[in-house]
Amino acid sequence: MTALRQRKGSKGKEPPLGAEFHSQQPNCCTDHHHHLHPEKILHGDWSWGAIIWTSVGWSVSVGLGLLCCIYVATLHENDLWFSNIKEVEREISFRTECGLYYSYYKQMLQAPSVQEGLSDLIHDNLTESRRTINLLQRMNIYQEVFLSVLYRLLPIQSYLEPVYFYIYTVFSLQAVYVIALYLTAWLLSGSWLAGALTGVWYILNRVDTTRVEFTISLRENWSLPFLALQVTAITCYLRPHLTALQQVLVWLMYVTTFCFCLTWQFNQFILLVQALIIYTLDCVDLLTTTQVTTLYLVQVSSLLSVWLLQFCNSMILGSLVLSFIVAALFIRHCQSGLKTGGLLVRLGKLLLHTTMVLLLSFTINYLAKKALQLRSDEHIFKFIKLKFALGPTRDFDASLYLCEEAFGFLPLDTLERLAGTLLLYPYILTLLLLSGMFAVAALHNLRGSASETPYVAYNLLHTLFYGLLAFSTMRMKYIWTGHMCAVAAYGACGTELWSLVFHYLSLEFYDPDTVELMTWISTKTPKRAVFAGSMQLLAGIKLCTGRVLTNHPHYEDKDLRERTRQVYQVYARRSPEEVHDILRAVGADYVVLENSICYERRHRRGCRLRDLLDLANGHIMDGPGENDPDLVPASHPRFCEAINSDAPSYSALFTRTFQNKTFHVYRMNRNNY
């Protein structure tokens, strides 16, 4: 017997979807390929190479954003000859509802003061004859209010006309949109080259990714950049190793969701799709309870904030997304044993759970609308009923929507244009690969041996769900096509995705994190340094670097087995002083901690290495489930997790000397304590 368990998934805290099918061992002969995520600088990688490479990536993102902004502004100018026409001609270029929205910006600027302008909007009797309405409650025009106030405050009136301030702001949001998509692709792939490809594809497919240059005031042109930023924040939030940034990211998700909801009247329907994505990931155990609750509460708090700003707009309280979230959280709380049992049992529970959530959602929504006497959004549901032939209807409003091209099905020539820019083919290939891996990961999770990359899974479902929405309603394609660029770029440049493809095709071995670790050990540590860690990893360190080991996989020696059990206390709940004493006793100079062991979710509860250590130490195991009555709670946190906090009790004894998304190396300090 050469080892107790095989080391699997060397891709970080949570291995890539589908990674359970292959085990990667360290290979000292593989070429080193260094990838930097945009957040890596925040975790202490202050080498000149990291700083320069990351700075170049950020600079390229800003450059592409500005290029897109200038491009659409130039198209707008060339199409209308905007700078050479009369003011009235400029104003009539704001067609249909665009002109209505712009009129409130103009009205605010013409008001004697901001206070009087706001009062006129709140008590408006000019928009609808014989009616006085609250425009801030009825319409999403806070962006016009904000922009008019900003124009009044800034010293720009003498050289920038109000109309240019308005349109340049909207065009600038296109730069924000491109940067957000760029960062999402960078976070997914680990390379800003994917972000650059995303920006290029977005610009090349301008006809299908935006219509801002001729529909400037449309609410989607204000809101979609914030939705893209929110997706970036969620992607970052779901990445591992970002515990220090969690609160910042939660606030960023809230702010971007709030801005998105405030600027578009269709916010509740877009958030409903997103809530369904979160629900799906939760059902297949790809998100933790904390992550699910946080994402739902971000949506709820954003909607309620908009509800307050829109003078308690009852349409928000009667939205289906709020009813769904309340139902999902309530049923989830009541069904505490949902994620237990075998595959068939879990599938049965999941079916029952989903049925209960849907029934409770519609019940809550029905009662809320009855109580609020809400009929403002009934035309939307009649439109859906007519569009999908769910029953006979001759409703005028639904027919009026359906007869508009923007609310019809997605024309097939859209796909032809996307194929012409070489976007469609890598997108479809990426979609097929990720969908297959997602299905495998979901099946394994339902069987109780989890494997996950939640930030990739979220973006996969985002592009699938909003893709279906785009095919059903052409106006919604702009949510899909921008994100489509990021997903296709991830497929083209994502190292983890390609490594999986190469593995199945038997073309290449690829494990950049382990290569980076071996290179660092070979070049940055003394040749007689002693390393502690997992048996399998240490075997690779011996092969590739020649360093001295505390233990190894040849397990047929009783003393070695006892030493290995002691070294593995780095994954148990032990105090830093105890772990330091153990490692010094075996002569270790460095200890290597692996996220794939510390946060393992592959094996069932009771078979994970940390569970075996807890049982051997008499401690209660992690997670829901039964514990033997003689087990007690540990008095210390898990060492491999707590050491990442850099608390004084740990930093006094251990100094972090190397880190990537898979490994953390600490040097043993000789301090007294």
Per-residue pLDDT at 3: 36
Higher pLDDT, 251 or 47: 251
Q: Of 478, 503, 528, which residue sits at a domain end?
A: 503
* Cα 477 to the center of its chain, rounded Å: 20
Per-residue pLDDT at 555: 77
Question: Taking 50 as the threshold, does the pLDDT of residue 554 lie above it?
Answer: yes
Q: What is the mean pLDDT of residues 26-47?
A: 51
Are 414 and 330 members of one domain?
A: yes
Are 215 and 309 members of one domain?
A: yes
612 part of a folded domain? yes
Are 355 and 487 members of one domain?
A: yes
Residue 655 has phi, psi (to 5 degrees) of -120, 125
Please give the Cα distance from 471 to 181 (Å, whole number). Answer: 21
Question: Residue 660 maps to which CATH number?
Answer: 3.40.50
Average pLDDT of the residues of the chain: 87
Instruction: Choose the weakest-confidence range: 49-63, 173-187, 503-517, 554-568.
Output: 503-517
Q: What is the pLDDT of residues 381-414, one digit of tens each?
A: 666 776 666 666 666 766 666 677 777 889 989 9
Question: Taking 50 as the threshold, does the pLDDT of residue 238 lie above it?
Answer: yes
Per-residue pLDDT at 626: 85
Nearest to 223 by CA among 261, 179, 271: 261
- State the pLDDT confidence band at 32, using cuts at 50, 70 and 90: very low
Tokens representing 491? Answer: 């497929």
Per-residue pLDDT at 181: 98
Are 367 and 395 members of one domain?
A: yes
Question: Taking 70 as the threshold, does the pLDDT of residue 242 lie above it?
Answer: no
Work out the number of other CB atoms within 10 angstroms of the CB of residue 644: 18
231 part of a folded domain? yes
Are 548 and 493 members of one domain?
A: no
Are 83 and 208 members of one domain?
A: yes
Work out the number of other CB atoms within 10 angstroms of the CB of residue 214: 14
Residue 133 has phi, psi (to 5 degrees) of -125, 160
Are 300 and 379 members of one domain?
A: yes
Per-residue pLDDT at 429: 93
Q: What is the mean pLDDT of residues 367-394?
A: 74
Inter-residue contact 13 to 661 (CB < 8 Å): yes
Question: Taking 70 as the threshold, does the pLDDT of residue 16 lie above it?
Answer: no
Higher pLDDT, 527 or 375: 527
Q: Of 439, 472, 503, which residue sits at a domain end?
A: 503
Q: Of 452, 479, 503, which residue sits at a domain end?
A: 503
- State the pLDDT confidence band at 538, using cuts at 50, 70 and 90: very high
pTM beyond 0.85, yes or no: no
14 part of a folded domain? no
Are 189 and 290 members of one domain?
A: yes
Higher pLDDT, 27 or 196: 196
In one-letter notation, the amino acid at residue 555 is Y
638 part of a folded domain? yes
Tokens representing 472? Answer: 């059903």
263 part of a folded domain? yes
Question: Taking 90 as the threshold, does the pLDDT of residue 502 lie above it?
Answer: no
Residue listed under structure tokens 């893209």: 228
Please give the Cα distance from 451 to 442 (Å, whole number). Answer: 8
- State the pLDDT confidence band at 43, using cuts at 50, 70 and 90: low
Q: How many helices (H) and strands (E) does the chain have?
A: 31, 5
The SS3 call for residue 111 is coil
Number of domains in the chain: 2
H-helix segments, 266-342: 267-283, 289-309, 314-317, 320-334
Higher pLDDT, 126 or 15: 126
Are 553 and 449 members of one domain?
A: no
Specify the DSSP element, H or E, that contains 593: strand 590-594
Please give the Cα distance from 30 to 254 (Å, whole number). Answer: 43
Question: Taking 80 as the threshold, does the pLDDT of residue 620 lie above it?
Answer: yes
Instruction: Choose the weakest-confidence range: 63-77, 106-120, 436-450, 584-598.
Output: 436-450
Work out the number of other CB atoms within 10 angstroms of the CB of residue 648: 9
Are 358 and 477 members of one domain?
A: yes
Nearest to 597 by CA among 567, 627, 628, 575: 567
Cα–Cα separations (whole angstroms), residue 524 to 49, 274, 469, 545, 637: 16, 46, 52, 11, 31
122 part of a folded domain? no
Instruction: Choose the weakest-confidence range: 22-26, 184-188, 489-493, 663-667.
Output: 22-26
Please give the Cα distance from 281 to 276 (Å, whole number). Answer: 9
DSSP per residue over 205-260, as a string? Answer: THHHH--TTT-TT-HHHHHHHHHHHHHHHHHHHTSTT-GGGHHHHHHHHHHHHHHH
Q: What is the pLDDT of residues 299-346, one digit of tens each?
A: 999 999 999 999 999 999 999 999 999 999 999 888 777 777 778 888
Inter-residue contact 405 to 474 (CB < 8 Å): yes
Please give the Cα distance from 342 to 643 (Å, whole number). Answer: 35
Q: What is the pLDDT of residues 507-534, one digit of tens each?
A: 575 678 899 999 999 999 999 999 999 9
| Structural domain boundaries enclosing 550 | 514-668
Are 476 and 372 members of one domain?
A: yes
Please give the Cα distance from 214 to 18 (Å, whole number). Answer: 44
Are 466 and 565 members of one domain?
A: no
Instruction: Choose the weakest-confidence range: 47-56, 123-132, 157-166.
Output: 47-56
Q: What is the pLDDT of residues 107-121, one digit of tens each?
A: 999 999 999 999 999
Q: What is the mean pLDDT of residues 195-222?
A: 95
Q: What is the mean pLDDT of residues 578-598?
A: 95
In sequence order, the 6+-apart residues with CB closer than 8 A to the CB of 375 are: 369
Per-residue pLDDT at 86: 92
5 part of a folded domain? no
Please give the Cα distance from 414 to 248 (Å, whole number). Answer: 38
Work out the number of other CB atoms within 10 angstroms of the CB of residue 251: 12
Q: In terms of C-beta density within 10 A (0-12 exposed, 13-18 middle, 19 or more buried), how is residue 111 classed?
A: middle
Q: What is the pLDDT of residues 438-458, one digit of tens each?
A: 988 888 777 655 555 899 999
532 part of a folded domain? yes
Tokens representing 294? Answer: 């946080």
Instruction: Choose the weakest-confidence range: 76-80, 442-446, 591-595.
Output: 442-446
Question: Taking 70 as the threshold, does the pLDDT of residue 208 lie above it?
Answer: yes
